[in-house]
Amino acid sequence: MRAMYLLDTDHMSLLHRAGEAGDRIRRRLELTPADQIAVSIVTYEEQMRGWLADIARARTIEQQKPRYDELRHLVEVYSKTPMLPLSDEAVAVYRNLWLQRIRIGSMDMKIAAIALTNRATVVTRNVSDFGRVPNLRTEDWSI
User: Which pairs with CB-CB distance under 8 Å and at least 24 residues apart come from 43-46?
Assistant: 43/7, 43/8, 43/9, 43/12, 43/111, 44/78, 44/83, 45/107, 46/9, 46/107
By the 8 A CB rule, do 74 and 47 touch?
yes
By the 8 A CB rule, do 142 and 24 touch?
yes
Taking the CB of residue 111, how many other CB atoms lie within 10 A of it?
33
Which run of H or E residues covers position 48?
Answer: helix 41-57
**What are the extents of the domains in the chain?**
5-139
Which is higher by pLDDT, 56 or 17? 56
Fold of 5-139: Rossmann fold (3.40.50)
pTM for the model: 0.92
Tens digits of residue pLDDT in 69-107: 999 999 999 999 999 999 999 999 999 999 999 999 999
Tens digits of residue pLDDT in 21-70: 999 999 999 999 999 999 999 999 999 999 999 999 999 999 999 999 99
